[in-house]
Structures are given as structure tokens and as C-alpha cells.
Structure 1
Amino acid sequence: MNTNKIALVTGANKGIGKEIARQLGALGFTVLVGSRDAERGAVAAKELVAEGHDAVVLPLEVTSAESVAAAAATVEAAYGRLDVLVNNAAIIPAGDGPVSEVASDVLRSAFETNVIGLVAVTRAFLPLLRKAPAARVVNLSTSLASFAQVGDPDSRMSTVTTLGYNSSKAAANMVTVMLANELRDTGILVNAADPGNCATDMGGWNAPRTPAEGAAVAVTLATLDKNDPTGHVYAEEGRLPW
């Protein structure tokens, strides 16, 4: 019987997601490498196993109800519970831009993955999270979802005009707060992590932070003690202003 804590990281075949999986593996978790591309997920899991981590690929397309249900059934059959869920999978859709220019289908695709997909995965795995003694949910967020920072004309965040990404991540923050409130008496803590601008496909390879640095905040939130806060967004420097 597997006595490790079980963690699922969505979008874990590359970038920050893979680094979150790697760091949780180093802490002794069995890591489920959620990936919409099963082959790429298998390659990432194999890499983690070669490093000494307990990692298994879990095919998971967050926008597919069938894929989400199948993934939840697989985890239930194999482990019977889930200790940590990290909702990392997200997109900046092609064509994302300012309010005056972004097409409706582009905006819709951002919400489909970054909000609806996040909620669908969380809802599907919640029964397994409830079976763990002290489960944690971590949603990946961004400073671009901070009203305080984006609303400050002197902030660099005010110059980034990706409406689909920014607004969908702001909605994901509200999901975080509402789920934390819903689960406040269960012992399940729900928070969001801002990894900062990391060198990834999404952040651009000239970004100042490494994926490993960006992953650290999410890993901290995934391993909080029972008396730690719930329902907040945290960056490396602390709680993020909304």
C-alpha cells in the first residue's frame, strides 16, 4: 500500500507545473503528473522518476468533462484519496489583447480553461480531497489578476493588456475565496499562488525568474499547517494585494 501523500498537479508536463511536481516529489509525495498530452506527461513523469521521485502520469484535459471524470476515477481506484490538488493548467490564448480588440471566442477560451476547467477539476476531485486527513488546494494565480496592481498606472502590471488571461485569473481568485469559505470547517485549506514572471512558454524565456523559483510559493501553500490561513493569494514576498 502507498503510504505517501498523493498530489495532483495539472499541466505538469512542463514549466512551473513540472517544477511543482518535482519539489513535491522531493518532499516525499507521490506526484500525479496531470497532462492533456499523455505522451508528454509520460516523458515528464519518467524524468522525475529518474531523479528519484515517485511520479505517475495522469492524462487530464481540464476542458473535457470525460477526461476529468476518467482521471478522478483513476485516482480513486489507485489511491482512494487525494492530499493535494494544484490547479496549474492555464492558457494565454492566441489573440489575447486589450478590451477594445479581443475577440469573444478568445476571451471564451481563456475562461474555459482558466476558470471553468479549474472548477470542473476541483469539483471532480473534492470527494477524494475530503477523504484525506488534511487536504490542500492551490490555484495558480498572477499579479495580473490584482486589481490593486493593474489599477496602478505606475505599475508594470497596468501595461499588460491580455484581457482574457488577466480577467480569467481574477475570476480564479474569486473561486479560491469562495471554495475556502465553503470548506472552512473541513480542515481543507484553499489558497492561490502567484509564481511571478518565470522563464516558460507562457512567461517568455527572457523572464527574470526560473520555473523552480516560481514553483516554491505553490509548494509552500500545498504543505501548510492546519492553523495557517485559507482563502488568500500569495506571492514570494507575501500576501498579494487584490
Structure 2
Amino acid sequence: MKTVLITGANKSIGFETARQLLQQGYYVYLGCRDMQKGEEAVRQLNAEGLTNVEPIVIDVTDAESVKSARTVLGQKTKVLDVLINNAGVSGTMQNALETEMSVFRAVFETNFFAVIQVTQAFIGLMMDAPEPRIVNVTSGLGSIALHADPSWKYYNVKVASYFPSKASLNAYTLALAHDLKETAFKVNVVDPGYTATDFNHHSGPGTVPDAAARVVKAAVLGADGPTGTFFSDDNSPETGISPW
């Protein structure tokens, strides 16, 4: 049975991603900052007959928490097949001149630096997996190419702290994919789409199940699947691959 760790998985897209992977036969480690919330999420999945799941406490911005989570997971499994870096924050809608430095730092800490921290901590558990997959959950707003195109539908949605944090995440993913190109790893970023969640005050038109399905698709890629790819049905509905 393949194993997967999902950060920020006790609610919303992360939770639905866990549900869908459980339905596909994966054993899911539900990453969450609060054990009580994680246990409640597990109880909900258990009530649906999905039992191969357990919570793992991990605050992705806290080095000691990440280290502890790695120790705990290493005691539960010798191999991690899939890592989904899903946890993220939105920042504010302020412009580039008004957004406070504290906001930039907080957003980058979660959306960028934490992904590196978690990936480096858990990569050792993935080395013996036959088909290891790393999925970094990005945003369509992370495309620098599209932000430079005045005809793009989200051209005016710059979100001074969030957009650069996701663009940086995309760049890191490319670097990681390159470093692992001679291995069985597939390392990709996925834009779940503009989805109605707490993250955006339920303003998005997309559904959580559809968003999670996009993440799952990258998590279960076969050996012939791509690596170093920016998947986005929202940015590129015809190809499903967004420009960087």
C-alpha cells in the first residue's frame, strides 16, 4: 500500500485530497497543526468507511515541529511514496508599495520556505519508494508569464505577497525536479483552480472535489508522466499546462 503525507490536510482541498487518495487505496498521513482538528478529520473519514488514515502533527513553519513529524512518521513507515505540500496562506490584497514587510515574510515563510523545509526533512523517506511523487500546490497566480499579459483574466489580481511567494515556489519546484531528474521522482506544481474555500472567503467558482482531483492526478502519475511541470486547468484549459 502506497503512503502519502499531506500538509494542511484537516480541511478544505487538503482534506478532500486525502479522501480521494484513500478511495484509491493509499494510506494517508493527515498533516495538521492541531491534533484535535486532525483527529476530528480522521473520525469524519472513518465514518465514511475510510480507515487507512491517521493524523500527524506538523507546523510547516516550525523547524522543530517538522523535525518531530519526521521522527514520528519514520517510526510508522520506512517508505513515503508521496509528499503533497498543500499548506498555504493568502496574505492580503494590498499593493506592492503598501503591503507591510511582516506580511511578505509571513506569506513566504509558509508558501515558500516551509515547502523547502518539509521537502528536505522527508526526502530521505522517499528515496526507496519505487515511484516517488512530490506535489507542490501552487496557484494560477504564480505564473509570471501570465502576469505580464494584459489580456489575462487575472491580470489585475497581483496580490503583492501571495503572487511572488507562489512564483518562488514554482521556481524551487523546477530546481528540485532538475536535481532529481535521473531518479524515479516526479516533481510538479499543481494549480487547484479558483476554488470556493475559506482561503478566499468562498469567492471562487470552482468546487473542492474538482480542485482536489487535480492534485490527486499529479500525485498518482505513472512512470511515463511528466516532471517539472506547472499543471493548471484554469490557466490553460486546453492543455492543462500553464506557462511559468
Q: TM-score, normalised by structure 1?
A: 0.95
- Asked if structure 2 preserves the Cα contact closer than 8 Å seen for 1:21 and 1:31, the reply is yes
2:228 aligned partner: 231
Q: How far 1:203 moved relative to its partner?
A: 2.6
Aligned equivalent of 1:105, options 102, 106, 110: 102
Equivalent in 113, 135, 139 of residue 136 of structure 2: 139
Runs of 4+ in 1 over 2 A off after TM superposition: none
Equivalents in 2 of 1:217, 1:91: separation in Å? 19
Matched residue, 1:71:
69
Provide, for residues 73-117 of structure 1, a one-character-per-residue CA deviation record: whole Å limited to 9, x for no partner: 111111111000000000012x45211111111001111011110
Secondary structure of the residue aligned to 2:136 is strand
Contact 1:96-1:106 at 8 Å conserved across structures: no
* Contiguous gaps of at least 5 residues in structure 1: none
Do 1:46 and 1:55's aligned partners in 2 also have CA atoms closer than 8 Å? no
Amino acid at match of 1:73: T
In 1: Cα distance, 2:104 partner to 2:203 partner: 26
1:170-205 deviations in Å (ceiling 9; x for gaps): 000011111101111110110010010111011331
Q: What amino acid sits opposite 2:48 in the alignment?
A: E
Q: Mapping of 1:1-242 within 5 angstroms?
A: 4-53=1-50, 54-93=52-91, 95-236=92-233, 237=237, 238-242=240-244
Distance 1:104 1:206, change over 3 A: closer
CA shift for structure 1 position 154:
2.4
C-alpha distance in structure 1 between counterparts of 2:242 and 2:100, whole Å: 30
Q: Is the CA contact (8 Å cut-off) linking 1:139 and 1:176 kept in structure 2?
A: yes
What is the CA–CA distance in structure 1 between the aligned matches of 2:151 and 2:87, rounded to whole Å? 30
Runs of 5+ unmatched residues, structure 2: none
Deviation track 1:158-180 (CA, whole Å, cap 9, x = no partner) reads 21131111100000001111110
- Do 2:137 and 2:190's aligned partners in 1 also have CA atoms closer than 8 Å? yes
- Which amino acid is 2:98 matched to? E
Instruction: For residue 156 of structure 1, report the CA deviation from its aligned partner.
Output: 2.9
Deviations 1:19-64 (A, max 9, x none): 1111111100011110112211111111112212211111010001
TM-score (structure 2 length as normaliser):
0.94
